Amino acid sequence: MTTRIVHGGGITAAARQYGGRPEEWLDLSTGINPNPMTLPEIPVAAWHRLPDQHLQERAREAARSYYRSGDILPLPVPGTQSVIQLLPKLVTGGRVAIFSPTYGEYARAFTLAGLQVRQVSTIAELTVDDRLVVAVNPNNPDGRVLPIEQLRELHARQRERGGILLVDEAFGDVEPVASVAPFAASMPNLIIFRSFGKFFGLAGLRLGFVIAEASIMTRFEDWLGPWAVSGPALSIAAFLMESDTSAIRNRILQRHSALEAVLQRSKLHVVGGTALFALVADDRAEGIYTHLCRHHILVRKFDYARNWLRFGLAPDEAADERLAGVLEDYST
């Protein structure tokens, strides 16, 4: 059986190992906005009734405008992880190619389904047998970005071979100009996954969106079954996506600049990342990770790259100073 993937966010387990209450820890192990949005007032009916069609329609219209997906109404799903599990159903022959290293659940889902998975680093490595190609863009954890023109060329190549291109834009909200969503209506063999919770700081809502041609989204909808997304989640998504999100973006960029300043001050080398996290390469990574844990700060380490650490954004200046002080203590 394929080993389960270790993700960020394991505060409870870290607290059990290193002490302290979970709420006392500073969690920098995820790529989630640390300043969650204030929730709007949710109509009582959203809690009381099964999700009505008008809630779906409003959320989908809001998502279409927010993601600039043109004629395509994005499909709300209970977190993109839920549809990653369904992807093997789309592969009827050939192999799966995944631009790597990246989010580990893709390879795990395909491997568990008995499919052959190849990890590639360049477009030149792809072959005619790669029926589904997965690109996380911008990538987690190194922040690699494939330009839109390359993605369009890759889609044309996949379409010619009867294959599919999946682009996961979970970290794409801060830089919408890098999104391929506006071109999706003219790219029938394209699937786009979008995460709602990372940018808005509401990961616990478990909400994402799929952008693809109608026949593909219908299959996902059928596989998920009725009422897959809760009424409150749809209500919150519609309200926030209809709002001006520039203040959210600016706050994230401010927090990212503050994080990079702390890492630079600590003489840690940033080798990649997105607006929501920074990737550090350091031969002392294991020791730094343990030292941070002993001071109740959690970051993300990687079993496949022992010299990497991923730092998420701290919520405020006090947390920046807390991180800086602990890192300085390790250096001395």
Beta bridge partners of 281: 269, 308
Write the DSSP assignment of 135-153 as a string of letters. EESS-TTT-----HHHHHH
Write the DSSP assignment of 100-119 as a string of letters. SS--THHHHHHHHTT--EEE
Q: Which amino acid is located at 201 in the chain?
A: G
Cα–Cα distance measured from residue 331 to residue 291, given in angstroms and rounded to the nearest whole number: 10
Cα–Cα distance measured from residue 3 to residue 200, given in angstroms and rounded to the nearest whole number: 31
CA distances from 89 to 83, 106, 165, 226 (A): 10, 13, 15, 19
What pLDDT does residue 1 have?
A: 45
What pLDDT does residue 127 have?
A: 93
Q: pLDDT tens track of the chain, all 332 residues?
A: 456 666 666 899 999 999 999 999 999 999 999 999 999 999 999 999 999 999 999 999 999 999 999 999 999 999 999 999 999 999 988 899 999 999 999 999 999 999 999 999 999 999 999 999 999 999 999 999 999 999 999 999 999 999 999 999 999 999 999 999 999 999 999 999 999 999 999 999 999 999 999 999 999 999 999 999 999 999 999 999 999 999 999 999 999 999 999 999 999 999 999 999 999 999 999 999 999 999 999 999 999 999 999 999 999 999 999 999 999 999 76
Write the DSSP assignment of 162-212 as a string of letters. T-EEEEE-TT-SS-GGG-SGGGGGG-TTEEEEEESHHHHT-GGG--EEEEE
Q: 10 Å Cβ neighbour count for 74?
A: 25
Report yes or no: 297 and 322 within 8 Å, Cβ to Cβ: yes
Place of tokens 């490595």: 125
Place of tokens 């589904």: 132
Q: Which amino acid is located at 8 in the chain?
A: G
Pick from 37, 35, 11: nearest CA to 24:
11
Place of tokens 């520039």: 246
Q: Which amino acid is located at 233 in the chain?
A: A
Cα–Cα distance measured from residue 134 to residue 332, given in angstroms and rounded to the nearest whole number: 43
Q: 10 Å Cβ neighbour count for 218?
A: 12
CA distances from 262 to 102, 269, 270 (A): 25, 11, 11
The model carries a pTM of 0.95
